[in-house]
Structure 1
Amino acid sequence: MKILGLIPARGGSKGIPGKNIKPLRGKPLLQYTIEAAKRSNLLYRIVLSSDDEEIMATARKLGLEAPFQRPVELAGDSSSSLEAVKHALRSFLEYGEKYDAVCLLQPTSPLRREGLIDEAIEKFCSGDFDSVMTVREVPAEYNPHWVFEEKDRGLKIATGETEIITRRQDLPKAYHRDGGIYLTKAEVLLEQDSLYGKNIGFVDTTGDPYVNIDTPQDWEEAEKLLQDLNLEL
């Protein structure tokens, strides 16, 4: 299967200015994801999707291809990752290069364990999945069976059930996306306009070091995590 590794890194971040190329423990944030992608044995090609010339130049210095520049209208605060992925696929189709799937690797999730990308690809290829993504288990107190929504000035169980599951041990496992990997069939992306499709597989990263960098506080947490990991090596 021909899988494109796509690293999206737009300019203009407001929460952390220039975060994609800002040094994190001595390396540009972008470099952590580039290194993880290059350790994969199953990605056919790895490229950058960016609107920003400085980010593109940095990526090239780090050995990452940047074969096209993403249009500014697809790189705003309200722009979706899906649009960036579709733009990349269509750009390659114009060059006569077709891919079966895209593995989206966001720089804001810099901590991926060794072999994680290939583990996700192997699961994707061995099952009848539209997509595979990395997830982490939701703590019991946030399990959807214990979450409530407003209704008629009162509350209802978010799952639609009428009776509350009283014991933690009886709660079914629930997961949230961790942002590390989104692997999706090209036809689902282009024809269904979806990053997920209907049949979604997953790789559980619960227990792995984790941070998703959106705020200065997240950045500080990433600095501390990387310092602790270095001490353990």
Structure 2
Amino acid sequence: MKILGIIPARGGSKSVPGKNIKKLDNKPLLQYTFDAANKANGLSDVVLSTDDEAIMKVAKQIGLKAPFKRPADLALDSTPTLPVIQHTLKYFIDQGVYYDAVCLLQVTTPFKTSEFIDKAINKFVNTGTDALISVQKVPHKFNPHWIFKENNEGNLELFTSEKEIVTRRQDLPSDYYFRDGCIYITKTEVLLEQNSLYGSKISYIESPEAAAINIDTLSDWRMAEDYLKSMKN
């Protein structure tokens, strides 16, 4: 299967200014994801999608292909991920280059490894699903069966609408998962023909703890710095 790795890196980050090329332990944040993607055996090609000249310059320095500049209207705070992927695919289709699937790799999850990327790709290929996403288990204290919501009378009722709360952790009915943004893999036909990032059949892979560190705020950045320090020690 021919899979295109796409690394989206929009300019204009507000929570952490210049986040995508800001140095984390003397290396641009962008480089962590590229290094892992570049070593992954399951990716046929890896490209950057960005609207920012400074990010393109750094990409060139580290060897990451940036064959086009993303249009400004696809680089807004409100821009969804799907049209960014579709824009990249259509660029290659116009060049006569076709891919069976796309692997989206976020810069903000810098500690994924090439081995983890390949493990995700192998599962995606073997399961034959429309998409695969990386996830983490919801901690038991946030299990939907232990969450309350306010009803019309201003009182609390269980989110699941059950009559009685499950009293013991061991009796919770199942595990729940949330997507952590580390990896998304989707068939091209689902992205372009169904106009969907997920399709109707989704498989999953659990991210290692480090791979799930997602840098969105300055406190997340400090967490990433602490992780690197712990690895050195």
Query: Percent identical across equivalent pairs?
Result: 52
How far apart, CA to CA, are the structure 2 residues paired with 1:45 and 1:209? 21
**CA–CA separation in structure 2 for the residues paired with 1:209 and 1:183:** 16
The correspondence of residues 125-164 of structure 1 with structure 2, limited to 5 A, is: 125-152=125-152, 153-164=154-165
SS where residue 4 of structure 2 aligns? strand
In 2: Cα distance, 1:144 partner to 1:90 partner: 40
**Distance in structure 1 (CA, Å) of the matches to 2:131 and 2:36:** 20
Q: Give, in whole Å, the separation in 2 of the partners of 1:9 and 1:208.
A: 21
**What code does the residue aligned with 1:185 have?**
K
Q: How does 1:10-89 map to 2 (within 5 A)?
A: 10-89=10-89
Q: Which residue of 2 aligns with 1:175?
A: 177
Aligned-pair distance for 1:144? 1.7
1:85-141: CA deviation from partner (whole Å, max 9, x where unpaired): 111111111111111110000000001145000000000000121111111111101
Partner in structure 2 of residue 226 of structure 1: 228
After TM superposition, the structure 1 stretch with the greater mean CA deviation from structure 2, 129-138 or 189-198, is: 189-198
SS at match of 2:180: strand
Deviates more, 1:114-123 or 1:143-152: 143-152
Aligned to 2:191: 189
Contact 1:137/1:206 (CA < 8 Å) preserved in 2?
Answer: no
Task: Count matched residues.
Answer: 231
- Corresponding residue for residue 205 of structure 1: 207
Q: Which amino acid aligns with 1:228?
A: S
List structure 1 segments (4+ residues) > 6 angstroms apart after TM superposition: none
Take 1:160 and 1:4, find their aligned partners in 2: how far apart are those partners? 43
Matched, 1:120 2:120: yes
- TM-score, normalised to structure 1, is 0.94
**For residues 97-116 of structure 1, what are the structure 2 equivalents within 5 Å?**
97-116=97-116
* Unpaired segments ≥5 residues, structure 2: none
Q: Could you state the TM-score of these two structures normalised by the residue count of structure 2?
A: 0.94
Q: What whole-Å deviation, never above 9, does each CA across 1:164-211 have from its counterpart, x for those lacking one?
A: 222211221111111110001111111222211121111112544541
- C-alpha distance 162-195 of structure 1, shift in aligned 2 (>3 A): farther
Contact 1:101–1:184 at 8 Å: present in 2 too? yes
Aligned to 2:167: 166
Amino acid at match of 2:32: Y
TM superposition shift of 1:39: 1.3
* 5+ long unaligned stretches in structure 1: none
CA distance in 2, matches of 1:103, 1:16: 25
Q: Secondary structure at the match of 1:192?
A: coil
